[in-house]
Amino acid sequence: MPESNESTKKQSYGISRRNFFKGAGLVAAASAMAQLPITGNNIAEAATANSIDELYEISKDYKQFNQKNEMFARMEWDTKFIPPPKPTITPGSPGYTVLDIAAGGAAGTVANTLGTGFGWRSGNEGLYSWSSLGAAKPPQEPWKADPAEASKAIKRFAHDNRIDAVGITTVDPRWVYTDWFHRGTKESGKIELSSTADKPEIKEDGTKVIPTKMKYVIVLLHRMPFEMVSTSPYVLGHAGTQVGYSLMAYGASTIAEFIRGLGYNAIPAGNDTMLSIPLAIQAGLGELGRNGLLMSTIGPNVRISKVITDLPLATDKPVNLGVRDFCESCKKCARECPSGAISEGDMTTEGFNISNNDGIKKWYVDCEKCRVFWNENGGAGCIRCIATCPYNKPEGYWTHELGNKLAPILGGGLVTVDDWMGYGKIVESEDYWKNQ
């Protein structure tokens, strides 16, 4: 892999028995001192807020974001990145074998075929179609239910369709893109919220119209495979993200079609149309971390999709999990970032370049450094910031539940325990393929 950061070492995955019990002992002692239970539901115990503005400082001068300035889109039109940086890795070398590359391509089958290739980037394409896919049979009269009952039905159906977490909020115009951008055709157009439109539509000039009556957003979280992600920045780590994008396409389209079958409008969306992370925060699904990603109630190892609808729903409240207090002193993602794109400094209201969404007090990531590294890495997406995060643990591990509770209290001290226990080390792809 490109040697962009000497602190990123190639190590076999695994937790030594000695270090595991050493770390577990320290965590248990800290838990006793903090008088915290080691079981329970973090969501129920988290402090709630009425709005995102109670948790984050958002400037009155905040401006909506243009999707064309998103870093991936810039690779298609910004002369600063055309031609793109050349790969510095050798195909066939460890982590970049034919086996690894085949997995990286196949994992994104649902996301990048079925006419969906650019759907999760620009919307209204393939499984992300704004119109029914034909599976839904709208009733003669829309289904009528109390908003609380409707939300319960959505969450139940989502759970049994293997969607890992669901939150519901309302459309906030601040998080709607001013413009959409299609990375395949290079076409773009406005996004308009309309009080007169009855259904979502696309005008002849390319303007995408969303009726204001479609004021509810169902936010869906999709877990990525832990050990695949742990191989990042190798190609298998990229495969883990592609699994996430395939799950996004499946989940968003399924929930959208379910809602259409109830007699309501639904727009499934991936990384398009609206900013996913602020919506997830508003829907009570987590907080923003130092790595610029959602630190969700089930960990950072997730992808986000959403469904916009006019089905009346009961909404969830934002939560304060103590993530920002922990990220203040942790800095492990910054330490381990191969490109040096993650800041070790304090939160600010200004980013590094036009790909940052200024006007919110938070930690900004230098998207340009991050994306250049991806190109040097043979196009394989790097998610070391997720793989090394102390909140990232295999699903069902007691250390995940306990770590979430202790993180805001122990701060950087928990990072030492996390390192001792072996978390965040790079899984060699050769070891990944040997494991059953």
**pLDDT per position as a tens digit, 158-180:** 999 999 999 999 999 999 999 99
Residue 19 confidence class, pLDDT cut points 50, 70, 90 = very low
Per-residue model confidence (pLDDT) at position 47: 78
Edge to edge, what strands does the sheet with 201-202 contain? 179-181, 188-194, 208-211, 201-202
How far is Cα 128 from Cα 307, in angstroms, rounded to an integer?
10
At 161, list the tokens.
Answer: 């369709």
Per-residue model confidence (pLDDT) at position 414: 77
Which residues, in sequence order, are CB contacts of 159 under 8 Å at separation 6+? Answer: 166
Per-residue model confidence (pLDDT) at position 117: 81
Q: What is the mean pLDDT of residues 73-86?
A: 94
Q: What is the mean pLDDT of residues 56-69?
A: 96
Per-residue model confidence (pLDDT) at position 417: 82
Per-residue model confidence (pLDDT) at position 285: 96
**pLDDT per position as a tens digit, 384-396:** 999 999 889 887 6
Q: What is the mean pLDDT of residues 34-59?
A: 66
Locate all alpha helices (DSSP H) within 168-234, ordered by sequence: 226-229
Q: Which residue has the tokens 């923003």?
A: 288
Which residues, in sequence order, are CB contacts of 149 under 8 Å at separation 6+? Answer: none
**pLDDT per position as a tens digit, 402-430:** 666 666 666 667 788 888 888 899 999 99
Contacts made by residues 396-405, CB under 8 angstroms, sequence distance 24+: 398/38, 399/24, 399/27, 400/299, 401/38, 401/39, 401/40, 401/42, 402/27, 402/31, 402/38, 403/27, 404/42, 404/321, 405/31, 405/34, 405/36, 405/37, 405/38, 405/40, 405/42
First-to-final CA distance of the chain: 25
HSE value, Cβ hemisphere, 13 Å, CA-based, for 282:
23
Per-residue model confidence (pLDDT) at position 293: 97
At 194, list the tokens.
Answer: 């309309």
- Enumerate the domain spans of the chain: 17-434
Per-residue model confidence (pLDDT) at position 7: 39
Around Cβ 303, how many Cβ atoms within 10 Å? Answer: 26
Q: What is the mean pLDDT of residues 134-139?
A: 90
234, 435 contact by CB (below 8 A): no
Residue 265 confidence class, pLDDT cut points 50, 70, 90 = very high
